[in-house]
Amino acid sequence: MEYLPIFIDLKQQDCLVVGGGDIAARKAGLLLKAQAKVTVVAPALSATTRKLVDNGDLTWVEARFDKSQVTQQRLILAATDDEAVNAEVHLAAQAKNILVNVADNPDTCDFILASILDRSPIIVAVSSGGDSPILARNLRARLETLIPPSYSHLGQLVGRYRDAVKQKFSKLSQRRRFWESVLEGPVADHMLAGRDELAEKTLLNKLADPSNESLERGEVYLVGAGPGDPELLTFKALRLMQQADVVFYDRLVSKEILSLVRKEAELIYVGKQRAWHAVRQEEINQLLLEHAQQGKRVLRLKGGDPFIFGRGGEEIDTLADEKIPFQVVPGITAASGCASYAGIPLTHRDYAQSCVFVTGQLKEGELELNWASLVQPRQTVVVYMGLAGLPQLSKQLLAHGMSADMPAALVQQGTTENQKVWVSTISALPALAEKEQPAAPTLVIIGEVTKLHNNLAWFKPGL
């Protein structure tokens, strides 16, 4: 991070703008919005800047810049078209330890003026660190569509009742849960729809509720994180990830996805891999239960979908027995996510009218599958965790009548930058895996549809 984003209180603080053109006027306008006392130094003014002077919004010193004009200002902005003058402003500000921003010259800036979305009291600032102001403005424009002006009224409503909520709820966790219930429920809905009075009345009723039992109650969120690409998370998954007090995650959850979890949440790794378990499944079940019983909101973040070879059912079974509230949020399972990114449709009118998901995990060194059901015409078979047992998988399928030249594919770490796809046949697949040594997690896809990879690969063509 090149710059620390901060918000400075400039109310009635002296600020200096050097330059009288339109750029200087825009920068002075930002300072005025922040209620600063602005002085402009310039020998001449553009029409836009002069209008600000004529309106009495700022003070104009009709002169060229001189370092004696730098006194005890809070901020200084240099916005002339003369590089020598801008450099002089920078040196004069540095000599007095005053923060300075020089237009279009990040190397001489102590701070960057971000592209601002103003929904006061909600302010969103987007910066590219000076590398691409146009990109920052484009991002702000997108945020304009996501954050309507009514959020300003919502922010004001919260501000009015902040002290009252603080007085009623002594615990920070209670206050946070109360406000989350306000901002994600009817109060926010009414305010964003323009029903301000009803929104305030609903908030008052909620504040007057003597019980507020939900503010102390623990809950578990069983959330599917998808196959790896953070953009495949659902909106609900993201919302619950931002509410969690503690997060239990496995090895298939990427660091990019973990970075989206609430920053204050405690992260606990409970990952498992072949022949080694960080925490046994029974212990995970108990950990979820114990933390929920402490009143915490517990996020169990699992790669893929928690109900497809994710042992999600086992985990919530324990919670159900103890009457612990829980939610299950499905994720994009590896079969659909990895196949889509590999350009392999799991069903296709010309090749496959059914699809079967199986686990290739070994049990005491053996694969126990219904082999006859897997050797069916016009069917796609997707094998999770199939690398270790790939020789047995190939041998058994061939022994039960599958054609030796049946197309098959390996998809390594699908949907991520490490994705790689190999297409071969079911008979040659073990030797291919031995040679290429694909990294886990790798999905095995068997069926005629894998032939479509070469034409339909879009994510990382050729890989």
Just list the catalytic residues.
250, 272
Whether 304 has a binding-site annotation, put simply, is: yes
Whether 44 has a binding-site annotation, put simply, is: yes
What gap in Å lies between CA 196 and CA 222, rounded to an integer? 35
The 10 Å Cβ neighbour count of residue 198 is 15
At 287, the amino acid letter reads: L
Whether 278 has a binding-site annotation, put simply, is: no
Task: Name the one residue in this structure whose structure tokens are 């549809």.
Answer: 449
Whether 342 has a binding-site annotation, put simply, is: no
What gap in Å lies between CA 374 and CA 354, rounded to an integer? 11
* Secondary structure of residue 25 in the 3-state scheme: helix
Whether 23 has a binding-site annotation, put simply, is: yes
Task: Name the one residue in this structure whose structure tokens are 């009252």.
Answer: 164
At 370, the amino acid letter reads: N
Q: For residue 448, give the nearest of 415, 432, 425 by alpha carbon.
A: 425
Whether 405 has a binding-site annotation, put simply, is: no
Whether 227 has a binding-site annotation, put simply, is: yes
Whether 414 has a binding-site annotation, put simply, is: yes
Whether 66 has a binding-site annotation, put simply, is: no
Whether 385 has a binding-site annotation, put simply, is: yes
Whether 122 has a binding-site annotation, put simply, is: no
Q: Which alpha helices (DSSP H) does 96-150 contain, by range? A: 133-146
Whether 303 has a binding-site annotation, put simply, is: yes
Angle at 269 between CA 267 and CA 271, to 5 degrees: 150
Give the phi and the psi of residue 203 in degrees, each rounded to 5.
Answer: -65, -40
At 226, the amino acid letter reads: G
Within 13 A of 270's CA, how many CA atoms are on the CB side?
Answer: 24
Whether 457 has a binding-site annotation, put simply, is: no
Give the phi and the psi of residue 221 in degrees, each rounded to 5.
Answer: -110, 115
Known binding residues for NAD(+) are: 22-23, 43-44
Known binding residues are: 22-23, 43-44, 227, 303-305, 308, 333-334, 385, 414
Known binding residues for S-adenosyl-L-methionine are: 227, 303-305, 308, 333-334, 385, 414
